[in-house]
C-alpha cells in the first residue's frame, strides 16, 4: 500500500472495532423488520424459515412441502437459529441474519485494512464499506449476498494471515471461509475469494511452490462443503430428484461462451452497474483506481490482491449467465480498501488529483443535495403520509449534512467533506429514517405474507390521504 502522511497515520482511534460495531449496529439493525419481503428470494427465505420453525425439520430446507435445494442451506439454518432465539419465525429472522452479516463485513474490512496497511487506512475502508448504499440495501433484506461477503472477507483475512506468518490461523480461516461461502451460495463462495488469491500467488516468484500448501487444505474444504450433499444423496430419496434437476439446470445445458455472456444481461452489464453499486462513493472511483504518482505498474503490483478481488471478479461475473447488481456486493470491501489510501494521499497533497477530484466530489454532493430538496419532501408527504412538518424537517437535517460537506469540499478539506457524507448516510439509516426506505416493494406482485397485507393496508390509507390533496390520485393502489 502507498505510504501516507505521518499526521494522517498517527495515533489511531481508541477501540476502533468497538466504535465500528456500535455505528454499524445502529445502521444495519435500524428498521430491518420494516416492510414486507422486497424480492421473491426474500419471500422464499421467509417461508422456509417459518416451515423450519413450525415443523422442527432443519436439515433439509423445504418450500411448500418440497425440498428447496436451489441454494445451499446455511442461510436457512442461521435463520432457524435466529427464529429459535427470537421465539418466532418471520421476516425479522431472515433479515437479522443479513444485518448481522453486514456488521461482520464492516469489522472484517477493518481487519483487512490493518493487515494490508495501517489503522488509518483500515478506518476509512470500514467507513466506506459501512455506508455503501448497495450494502445497506442488501443488509436490510433477507438474502444471501451479505453473508457470502462475510465469508469472502474471512477467507482473505486468512490468506493475509498466512502472508504475515500466522500459518495455522490463516489456513483455519481459509477453510472456514470457503466452506461457509460454498454452503451460502454454492460455487460462487469458492470463486470470489479464490480469484484474487490465485492471481496474487501466480504473480509471485515460484508460483508452484506457493500453491503447493493449497493441496493440504483442499480435502478439508471439499469434505466440509460437500458433506451435506452426500447426506442428501444417501439418506433423503425425495431430495435426489430435486438435486438432480438443480444440477441439470445449472450445469447440464451446453452453451457457447457468447450465449452465456449475453444471457439475461449482456457481458458489459457491470460496466454501468458497478458505478451504481459504489454509490455514494463513486466520486472517488477515479482517484482510487488511478495513481500516476507512483506509476501504474508499481501500483498494480502493490494492489494486486484488491484489483483481483474487485476487477478480476467483475470480469468473471460478466461471463457467467446470471447477472444482477446484488452479485457485486461481495466485491464492495475491495473498493473501500482501494479508496482509503487514495483519500489519505490526496488529503496529504501527495497525489496529483486534488483539484479535479475536488470538483467531482462537489458535483456529486450538490446533485445529492438537489435530490433531497426536490424529491424527499414530496415523497414523505404524498407517498409515505408523514406530516408536513416531518416532510420539511427530516430532509432539512440531511440537507444540512450535505451542505456542510459541500462547503468543506469547496475549501479543500476533503477528509472533513467525506466525513460529512458518511454522517449523511448514517443519519439516513437511523430509526427515524429507516422506516421510509423499504418502499421499493412491487405492489403489483402478489405476496402472501402477513407483513405484506399490513403494508398494503397502510398503503391504502396513505393513498386515500394523498387523494385529498393531490388532484388525480386514486384512493387505492392498483392490485
Helices and strands per DSSP (H, E), number in the chain? 25, 2
Owner of C-alpha cell 478481488: 309
Cell digits of residue 229: 450433499
Residue 283 to residue 477: CA distance in whole angstroms: 37
Cell digits of residue 408: 468543506
Comparing CA positions, the residue from 374, 250, 277, 261 lying closest to residue 319 is 261
Q: How far is CA 319 from CA 255, 308, 353, in A?
A: 12, 15, 33
pTM for the full predicted model: 0.84
Q: How far is CA 47 from CA 50, 65, 99, 422, in A?
A: 5, 11, 19, 35
Residue 267 to residue 100: CA distance in whole angstroms: 32
What are the pLDDT tens digits along the chain (479 aa)? 444 443 444 444 578 899 999 999 999 988 777 666 777 788 888 899 999 999 888 888 988 888 888 889 999 999 999 999 988 888 888 999 999 999 999 999 999 999 998 999 999 999 999 999 899 989 988 889 999 999 999 999 999 998 888 888 999 999 999 999 999 998 899 999 999 998 888 887 776 666 666 777 888 899 999 999 888 888 888 777 777 776 665 655 555 555 555 566 777 888 888 888 888 888 787 777 665 555 667 777 778 899 999 999 998 888 887 788 889 999 999 999 998 988 887 777 666 556 777 777 788 788 888 888 888 787 777 656 667 777 788 888 888 888 888 888 887 787 888 888 898 888 888 876 666 654 444 433 444 555 556 556 655 666 666 566 555 444 444 44
Q: Under DSSP, is residue 352 helix (H, G, I), strand (E, B) or coil?
A: coil
Domain ranges of the chain: 16-253
Q: Under DSSP, is residue 67 helix (H, G, I), strand (E, B) or coil?
A: strand
Cell digits of residue 325: 447488481
Rg (CA), the chain: 23
Amino acid at each position: 500500500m502507498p505510504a501516507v502522511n505521518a499526521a494522517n497515520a498517527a495515533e489511531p482511534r481508541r477501540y476502533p472495532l468497538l466504535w465500528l460495531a456500535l455505528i454499524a449496529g445502529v445502521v444495519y439493525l435500524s428498521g430491518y423488520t420494516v416492510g414486507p419481503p422486497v424480492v421473491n428470494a426474500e419471500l422464499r427465505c421467509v417461508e422456509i424459515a417459518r416451515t423450519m420453525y413450525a415443523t422442527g425439520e432443519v436439515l433439509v430446507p423445504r418450500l411448500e412441502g418440497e425440498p428447496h435445494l436451489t441454494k445451499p442451506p446455511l442461510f436457512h439454518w442461521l435463520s432457524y437459529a435466529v427464529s429459535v432465539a427470537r421465539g418466532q419465525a418471520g421476516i425479522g429472522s431472515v433479515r437479522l441474519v443479513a444485518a448481522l452479516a453486514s456488521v461482520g463485513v464492516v469489522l472484517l474490512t477493518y481487519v483487512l485494512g490493518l493487515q494490508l496497511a495501517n489503522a488509518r487506512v483500515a478506518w476509512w475502508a470500514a467507513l466506506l464499506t459501512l455506508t455503501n448504499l448497495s450494502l445497506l440495501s442488501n443488509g436490510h433484506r433477507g438474502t444471501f449476498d451479505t453473508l457470502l461477503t462475510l465469508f469472502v472477507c474471512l477467507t482473505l483475512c486468512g490468506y493475509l494471515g498466512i502472508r504475515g506468518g500466522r500459518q495455522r490461523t490463516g489456513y483455519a480461516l481459509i477453510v472456514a471461509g470457503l466452506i461457509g461461502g460454498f454452503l451460502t451460495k454454492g460455487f460462487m463462495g469458492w470463486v470470489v475469494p479464490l480469484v484474487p488469491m490465485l492471481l496474487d500467488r501466480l504473480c509471485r516468484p515460484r508460483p508452484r511452490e506457493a500453491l503447493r500448501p493449497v493441496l493440504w487444505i483442499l480435502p478439508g474444504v471439499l469434505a466440509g462443503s460437500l458433506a451435506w450433499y452426500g447426506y442428501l444423496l444417501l439418506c433423503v430419496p425425495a431430495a435426489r430428484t430435486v438435486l438432480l434437476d438443480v444440477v441439470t439446470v445449472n450445469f447440464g445445458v451446453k452453451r457457447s461462451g457468447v450465449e452465456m455472456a449475453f444471457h439475461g444481461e449482456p457481458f458489459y452489464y457491470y460496466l454501468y452497474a458497478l458505478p451504481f453499486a459504489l454509490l455514494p462513493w463513486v466520486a472517488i472511483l477515479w482517484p482510487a483506481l488511478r495513481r500516476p504518482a507512483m506509476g501504474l505498474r508499481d501500483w498494480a503490483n502493490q494492489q494486486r490482491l484488491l484489483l483481483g478481488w474487485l476487477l478480476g471478479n467483475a470480469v468473471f461475473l460478466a461471463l457467467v449467465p446470471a447477472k444482477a447488481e446484488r452479485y457485486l456486493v461481495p466485491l464492495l470491501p475491495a473498493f473501500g480498501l482501494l479508496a482509503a489510501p487514495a483519500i489519505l494521499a490526496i488529503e496529504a497533497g501527495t497525489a496529483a488529483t486534488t483539484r479535479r477530484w475536488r470538483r467531482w466530489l462537489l458535483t456529486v454532493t450538490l446533485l445529492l443535495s438537489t435530490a433531497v430538496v426536490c424529491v424527499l419532501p414530496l415523497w414523505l408527504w404524498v407517498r409515505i403520509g408523514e406530516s408536513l412538518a416531518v416532510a420539511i424537517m427530516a430532509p432539512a437535517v440531511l440537507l444540512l449534512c450535505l451542505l456542510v460537506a459541500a462547503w468543506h469540499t469547496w475549501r479543500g478539506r476533503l477528509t472533513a467533506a467525506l466525513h460529512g457524507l458518511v454522517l449523511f448516510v448514517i443519519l439516513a439509516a437511523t430509526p427515524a429514517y429507516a422506516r421510509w426506505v423499504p418502499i421499493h416493494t412491487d405492489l403489483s406482485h402478489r405476496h402472501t405474507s402477513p407483513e405484506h397485507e399490513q403494508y398494503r393496508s397502510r398503503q391504502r390509507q396513505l393513498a386515500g390521504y394523498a387523494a385529498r390533496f393531490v388532484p388525480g390520485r386514486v384512493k387505492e393502489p392498483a392490485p
